[in-house]
Structure 1
């Protein structure tokens, strides 16, 4: 009975949160301002004590537990014991409690933040349109920056960028610096965590994933490594309630390019070139072709390696994940779905063109 009551309480609180952020103006903003730090500094710090991705291990344990539960119930044929209790009743109540806790944590640490005033709106980024000439100017800058940094990053025998273990701390420091400049992101950050079985992310076409249940930023270790610093910062921004994917990308760009760390700088500028370059390709192919032709060979090797990596992992799983992610994002107000990642271009142009209201 206690488990059932606690499950009911958690579900009720989750539903109140769900309705509140949708129906009451400023509810999500007030909640984020007062409770984000609580969750990050409690559950987030607790999770950070584990050197591995806690949510990954918990998922595996949940799957195993679910299988065992089903087998036990089937084996017991859902029959009555001599005590009169339904076989498997306690296990079902435990499963209900876990499901209720998952629902509650999701509402508190993810769903609510979709309805707060966005990072871009608070600081005035991306409010105006931009011309193709402005896009070309920014793309030219991005190529120039990436070229100048390409020789400063460590590379393997194939000439592909590699990251060391310390990049996790350096990405964390970059986010701390960004949080000092933009209080929206202020406060403590944990290190992003590598996913042990990153193949699962690779075949799902995912570079990283944020866990609302453990307050963790997780990243794919198998992908081409110029992506890693950018992805770490992207997922860490989710931890601070930046749920819109284009804005998480933008925060990653600001964090990576706001340091003097060559690995982060290169990751930020090359990743931004991919997004902005794709937009230029659609608008002015000849201008894109000219700029792409000036890209350093090392940069090209990283990009070709990246394309080949994702091509190798395309299939039914990636298609299903893409479809799910697209629908999930749309259901949370991101009308462009998975295309919303690309909308970071608007924000980068706004920032680089000096159209933003920089707080400093």
Structure 2
């Protein structure tokens, strides 16, 4: 009797699962979340720590993610987001041969664990990049001393550079310029430009130097209504691009999102790195894209300080730029949907401010300070 009783007791204890053994994935994801919170808080408190995380463990993860997902010609992140709701419904309610209550509880913990992994990846891999040493300090630029005259001089210089390229750029009868090669060839050229920039000077060592394939989105035609031309998904390491925008925007947009892949989180800095990458290319259309996008930002800055000077600068700009700008305005009007763009703009603005970017979406325009400081330093050499 005693032997059988003990054996029965032992069997009951053996079969009784603990919360941990039943939810190992959830517990592991929760532990990763706790570690990620510590990394994130430490990064906000110390730029030196943020530099270390951004340049070493974070960089390795971003490299592996970008390398793996580049195998696929489509965006894994886009597929995940499009299928998210139906997959959740199937996962919760249609798993076979299991008690309904147990199934929903178990699957809920799995989905919560997946959410923890996504949040943890953001906190430990990409978010620290917001708090690393600024690009102007890395490159020895004095953006604080930039004056409105410096911005104007930069606009004039960029306008003159566009004029030098004008004969090599092809436009249609609406004034819109045409990219003379395929998307895949463009990506190849931009990867070469990144390699060239990183090899040109050791001061660019803070940029991750690796191959990646930015993904054209299936929903590209819907993106202009959101006013989003591209985005970086940290949990897959992919740069995602809307190919529905005018051709002149696409090289610069790809270079911008590739900058995010390489740990440049702040939007003004990603814009500036995108410009430098475009300038490093030996391809005329990529250089035209970089100059044109930068001139748009510079002229906006000139307009805020002197409207008459803006008009003078704009009408003295090359014909190819003025016609491109006019065609772009027509494109923007044809895709206007304020109810959508206001929502996406508010979400983006809130996210940027939460990461210490007090200017929010206006931070994109701060590229004018970096570019003006850059041209000023180059002219002084």
Q: TM-score, normalised by structure 2?
A: 0.85
Quick check: 1:50 aligned with 2:72?
Answer: yes
The offset of 1:153, in angstroms, is 2.6
Partner Cα separation in structure 2 for residue 184 and residue 288 of structure 1: 36
Higher Rg: 2
Quick check: 1:176 aligned with 2:195?
Answer: yes
Task: Give the aligned partner of residue 115 of structure 1.
Answer: 131
Choose between structure 1 and 2: higher helix proportion.
2
Quick check: 1:35 aligned with 2:57?
Answer: yes
Within 5 Å, which residues of 2 pair with 1:26-175?
26-69=48-91, 85-156=101-172, 158-163=174-179, 164-165=182-183, 166-175=185-194
Partner Cα separation in structure 2 for residue 159 and residue 284 of structure 1: 27
Q: How many residues align structurally?
A: 352
| Misfit runs of 4+, over 4 Å | 69-73, 81-85, 355-358
| Structure 2 residue matching 1:184: 3-state secondary structure | coil
Within 5 Å, which residues of 2 pair with 1:1-360?
1-24=23-46, 26-69=48-91, 85-156=101-172, 158-163=174-179, 164-165=182-183, 166-180=185-199, 181=201, 182-311=204-333, 312-354=335-377
The 1:64–1:313 alpha-carbon spacing in structure 2 relative to 1, beyond 3 Å, is: farther
Q: TM-score, normalised by structure 1?
A: 0.90
Residue pair 1:193, 1:219 contacting (<8 A) in 2 also: yes
Deviates most, 344-353 or 194-203: 194-203
In structure 1, stretches of 5+ residues that fail to align are: none
Deviations 1:274-316 (A, max 9, x none): 0001111121222221121122333222212222222323321
The offset of 1:25, in angstroms, is 5.3
| Structure 1 residue matching 2:330: 3-state secondary structure | helix
Aligned Cα root-mean-square deviation (Å): 2.4
Residue pair 1:119, 1:247 contacting (<8 A) in 2 also: yes
Partner Cα separation in structure 1 for residue 344 and residue 99 of structure 2: 46
Partner Cα separation in structure 1 for residue 355 and residue 343 of structure 2: 19
The offset of 1:239, in angstroms, is 1.1
In structure 2, stretches of 5+ residues that fail to align are: 1-22
Residue pair 1:32, 1:116 contacting (<8 A) in 2 also: yes
The 1:153–1:71 alpha-carbon spacing in structure 2 relative to 1, beyond 3 Å, is: farther
Residue pair 1:123, 1:357 contacting (<8 A) in 2 also: no
The 1:70–1:126 alpha-carbon spacing in structure 2 relative to 1, beyond 3 Å, is: farther
Partner Cα separation in structure 1 for residue 219 and residue 353 of structure 2: 28
Partner Cα separation in structure 1 for residue 261 and residue 252 of structure 2: 15
